[in-house]
Structure 1
Amino acid sequence: MGERESITTDHHAARQQSSSGLRPWVTRAAERVLDTPYLKVRREEVLLPDGTLIPDYYIIENRGWVGIVPLTADGRFLLNRQYKHGIGLEVLEFPAGAIDPHEEDPLLTAHRELMEETGYSVAAEKIELLAHMYANPTGARTRIWWYLARDVAKTGEQKVDPREIIENLLVTPRELLALIHSGQFAVQGQIAAAYMALERLGYLRASF
């Protein structure tokens, strides 16, 4: 069991009253009930706007994640193929990873993860913020920063965790869309990033 603490709330988004007039929940107390290098879980006692008290609301905590949509100079997307034990399947996805404690800027994580998982790098002027998202806002305080990296080039070798076996492959924009529609590229936030990148790059046009 973690040490119990009295707090009002520790998440800036929860303190902000939305433009719709919805009132945030108030965190009365909290304790860390699981603390490992890979998973941290917090139990909170929260007070709802109508006065209802929930004594045991569980939230997954982390420092956030970064994803990179890498595009080579010849216009192909760089993907990872990797086994994910959570679902027991191989998945196709863009490079992504957790923000390390010493990385104050998510952009640092983007450069590191791209090199570690693929051996590719990107020039500082060729990477831009694509989107800022949340994953599972009901049960996790996880922010995700997505970057679009243009003209990535192979400049090194993978330096992955011993538990990771990652294969890299290059696909065209048309092939990426086909993978999404066939269900082979099926991770929720990754699909959102793919469509945003395709739109940013001019491959998709909205017709309202």
Structure 2
Amino acid sequence: MTQIKKWKLIQSEQLIKDQWADVRKNSYQKNDGSIIEPFYIYGFPDYATAVAITKTGTVIVEKIYRAGLDTIALELPGGCVDTTDTSLSHAIERELLEETGYRFDQIEYLGKISPNPTTNTNVMHMFLAKGGVLDPNAVRDTSEEVEVIEMEWDDFITAFKTQAFIQSMQTCTILYALMRLNKLIV
């Protein structure tokens, strides 16, 4: 049985570095001595997202334009973890309030997943938020054009089953939330 070891980084060249992306062109030596180059590493901020349930039992989702696929997508609320966030819970509370205007009684951490551990350095932190109420004094972030929708639970499950949610990390968040709620569907 082969013992897996990390590759040796030979060289790293910074191609892009700003607040949203850190792209490096690396060269690695594998354990058999062969060289892999170029090998691109993409650094992005960590993300946080939540299945957000109101006090009345509806699920808060968003419609938002996504330029990468040039589509209007149905998504869960969430966004980047900022360097100013004091904790991951603070990050998702801030994102929920900025994007939806809702505050939540309970926020539970469900874990983290990687969008692509082959090339990406970031992770998605998953949450389940319950007991949401609209805060009429919330200051919404207007830099993104987001339509906030309260979906009935059955409509949310139907949207999930019919693959209306296309963001893969968010579909994982939905699955983990369904497991936590003991409502995993077949």
Amino acid across the alignment from 2:145: I
Secondary structure at the counterpart of residue 145 of structure 1: strand
CA distance in 2, matches of 1:91, 1:205: 22
Q: How does 1:85-124 map to 2 (within 5 A)?
A: 85-123=67-105
Q: Which runs of 5+ in 2 are unaligned?
A: none
* 2:55 aligned residue (73, 79, 83): 73
Aligned to 1:47: 29
Contact 2:77 2:99 in 1 (8 A): yes
| Higher normalized contact order (CA 8 Å, seq sep 6+, divided by chain length) | 2
Show CA shifts across 1:134-167 (max 9, x none): 11111211111111111011114452242x1101
* 1:186 aligned residue (146, 149, 166): 166
CA distance in 2, matches of 1:49, 1:33: 26
Contact 1:63 1:101 in 2 (8 A): no
* 1:176 aligned residue (138, 141, 156): 156
Q: How does 1:1-208 map to 2 (within 5 A)?
A: 21-123=3-105, 126-155=106-135, 156-157=137-138, 159-162=140-143, 164-204=144-184
Amino acid across the alignment from 1:136: N
Show CA shifts across 1:43-85 (max 9, x none): 2221111111123211111231111211111222110111111
Contact 2:41 2:121 in 1 (8 A): yes
Amino acid across the alignment from 1:154: L
RMSD, aligned α-carbons: 1.9
Aligned to 1:6: none
Contact 1:180 1:186 in 2 (8 A): no
Secondary structure at the counterpart of residue 191 of structure 1: helix
Secondary structure at the counterpart of residue 121 of structure 2: strand
Q: How many residues align?
A: 184
Identity within the alignment, %:
24
When the two structures are superposed, what TM-score results if normalisation uses the length of structure 2? 0.90
CA distance in 2, matches of 1:128, 1:79: 18
CA distance in 1, matches of 2:37, 2:86: 33
When the two structures are superposed, what TM-score results if normalisation uses the length of structure 1? 0.81
Rate the CA distance shift 1:145–1:109 in 2: closer, same or farther, 3 A: same
Secondary structure at the counterpart of residue 142 of structure 1: coil
Contact 2:99 2:141 in 1 (8 A): yes
Where do 4+ consecutive residues of structure 1 move more than 4 Å? none
Show CA shifts across 1:80-120 (max 9, x none): 11111111101111111111122252222111100110001
Give 1:174 shift.
2.0
